Chains A and B, each alone.
Chain A
Amino acid sequence: DTAVSQTPKYLVTQMGNDKSIKCEQNLGHDTMYWYKQDSKKFLKIMFSYNNKELIINETVPNRFSPKSPDKAHLNLHINSLELGDSAVYFCASSRSSVGEYGYTFGSGTRLTVV
């Protein structure tokens, strides 16, 4: 029973397309996140949501639009995909917005834009 699940695991698409990545957590956590891992394995925070409300948006282009229909789900929609969007996107959750217990990560979505 996966704690944080992301779909799809792989996504290959052409430039200019629009795509979505879904994330669900069954841990009862209040806070969810999207991180981007680039080709050099660097992890960078994109968004943070607490109880469905956007808390942090780290200067991400507005082509990226997160949506949280409830506190167990955090989806990421990307418009007009660009080559530079190719990366692995990780969803994560934590018990609280302080994050003192650490985050639980999903297994990632590898996005390739061609």
Chain B
Amino acid sequence: AQSVTQPDIHITVSEGASLELRCNYSYGATPYLFWYVQSPGQGLQLLLKYFSGDTLVQGIKGFEAEFKRSQSSFNLRKPSVHWSDAAEYFCAVGAQRGYSTLTFGKGTMLLVSP
């Protein structure tokens, strides 16, 4: 079974500074990988996904993530954080086979300071 670790429970970043949120996964083959964002009281919105091809993927809202197979990582980055990016971020992994489901990490809360 697959698993996901997000080592940082919360991170505080100054507005305008760069951001990197860490995600490590455990799965025996190449997984599907996703980053979702959840604002307070809202559902989860898909930021970006990886399932094959270019290991650097671009997403919405200026986010990108890089799949590094050797490190089993899929870290999320943004060059300049805006106050509206404050939210909970979830990394998720899925198996590349039918009838699987996404396994989510425990989330990282991003706080943005002025």
Contacts and interface: CB of A to CB of B under 8 A. Distances in A.
Interface string B38-63: 10011111100101000000000000
B74 interface: no
Interface stretch (A38-46, A64-72, A75-83): A38-46
Contacts, number: 69
Interface residues of B, number: 26
Given A41-B106, A42-B106, A107 B42 contact: yes
Interface residues of A, number: 28
B106 A99 contact: no
Contact of A100 (B36, B41, B94, B103): B94
A104 B106 contact: no
Interface in B1-53: 32, 34, 36, 38, 41-46, 49, 51
Give 9 closest A-B pairs by Cβ, nearest first: A105-B43, A43-B104, A107-B43, A105-B44, A45-B101, A102-B46, A97-B99, A41-B107, A99-B94
